[in-house]
Amino acid sequence: MTAITVGDVPQVRPRLGASLRRNRRWALFLSYVFLIIFAIFFLIPPYYMIVTSLKSNAEVAHMASNPWFPVNGITFEHFRTLVTDTDFLIFFKNTAIVTVCVVAITMVVSVLAAFSLGRMKFWGSGILATGIFLTYLVPDSLLFIPLFQIVRWLGLLNSYWGMVLVYPTLTVPFCTWIMIGYFASIPKELDEAAMIDGANHMQMLTRIFIPVALPGIIAATIFAFTVSWAAFVYPMAFLYSSDQQVLTVGTVTSLIRADVYQWGMLMAGALIAAAPPLIIYAFLMDYYIAGLTAGATKG
C-alpha cells in the first residue's frame, strides 16, 4: 500500500477538485435532460388541445392529416361558435359564482377552525383535527348518494346553489388541515405578547395570525378554487338543466351527442376553462408551495 507524502497533497487536491466539478457537470446535464423529458411529456396534451382547437372540422375528421400541426391553416371558428352558439358563457358564469361563494365560505370556516384547533388548545383538539382531515380522504363516490338526499330535501336539486352547499365538504377539511399546520409554525411568543397587550383571540387572529400566515391562506384559497372549478362528480349527479350547469359537465354534455363528438369545440372549451386556474397558479405558485410546505412539516 503506497503512502501519500506531504509533497503529494497539492497534486491530490486539484485532481479531487476536477473530479467534483466533472461530477457536478454530469449531474447538471442529467437534471436538464430529465427536466426536458418531463416538460415534453406533460406539455404534449395541452399542445394537442391547442392544435385541435385551431383546426377545421374537416381536418379534425380526416384521420390521415397531421395531428400535430394545422395543415390547412388556423381557424378560430370553434371558439366563436362555442361562445355565440352554445350555452358556454352560462356555464362559465355559473362556475364563477359557485367558485367565488365556495372559496369565501371555505376560507372563513377553515381559518376560524384552524385557529381554534391549532392555537387554542383544548381537550380532544388533536383528535378532532385528525378527524377533520380524515373526512377529506373519503371518496366522492361514497358521499354523493347521501348528499343527493340532503340536497333534494333542501330543495336545491338542479340548482348550482346546491354546489355551494356541497363543495365545502371537499374543501374545508383539507384547507383546515393546511391552516392548522401553518398556524402551528408561528412562534408562541406572538400569542403571549398579544395577550400581555390585552388583545382577545379575534384580535390576535385578524391582526397577527392572518397577516403572518398569508402564504398558507393563499395556498388554501388556491386549493379551494381548484376543487370548486374542476369538480365533476357532484354536478353530474345534481344538475341536469343547461341554465344550471357548470363548465366541467355542461361543456361535455352539450358538445357530445350520442357518438358525435365536437372535438374542435371540446378542445376550445377545455382551453378556456383551464385558463383561470392556470393564471392563478402562474402568479401565486410561490405562495402555494410555501403554504403546503409549512402545512406538511408542521401539521
Rounded to the nearest 10 degrees, the angle between the axes of helix 125-136 and helix 88-118 is: 160
Cell of 224: 379551494
Return the minimum-mean-pLDDT range out of 201-210, 220-229, 244-253: 201-210
Q: Indicate if the pLDDT at residue 1 is higher than 60.
A: no
Note the pLDDT of residue 297: 47
Q: How far is CA 281 from CA 54, 170, 284, in A?
A: 25, 20, 5
pLDDT value at 8 more than 60: no
pLDDT at 225: 92
Max mean pLDDT among 80-89, 99-108, 121-130, 140-149 falls in: 99-108
The helix or strand, by DSSP H or E, that contains position 222, with its residue range, turns out to be: helix 214-230
Looking at residue 253, its pLDDT comes to: 84
247, pLDDT greater than 80? yes
Average pLDDT on 4-28 reads 64
- Mean pLDDT on 4-19: 56
Per-residue pLDDT, 97: 94
**Residue 62 pLDDT > 90:** no
pLDDT on residue 116: 82
How many CA atoms, within 13 angstroms, populate the side-chain half-sphere of residue 139?
2
- Determine the pLDDT at residue 125: 66
What values do phi and psi take at 212, rounded to 5?
-70, -35
What confidence score (pLDDT) does residue 287 get? Answer: 65
Asked if the model's pLDDT at residue 11 lies above 60, the reply is: no
Q: Tell me, what's the pLDDT at 141?
A: 76
Mean pLDDT of 85-111: 91
**Angstrom distance (rounded) from CA 15 to CA 19:** 6
| Residue 172 pLDDT greater than 80, yes or no | yes
Checking if the pLDDT of 299 tops 50, the result is: no
In this prediction, residue 103 has a pLDDT band, given cuts at 50, 70 and 90, of: very high
Mean pLDDT, residues 215-234: 87
- In angstroms, the CA 126 to CA 23 distance is 47
Contacts of 165 by beta carbon, 8 Å cutoff, 6+ apart: 151, 154, 156
pLDDT of residue 296: 47
Q: What pLDDT was estimated at residue 191?
A: 73
User: Of the spans 143-147, 157-161, 174-178, 284-288, which averages the highest pLDDT?
Assistant: 157-161
Mean of pLDDT values over 3-15: 54
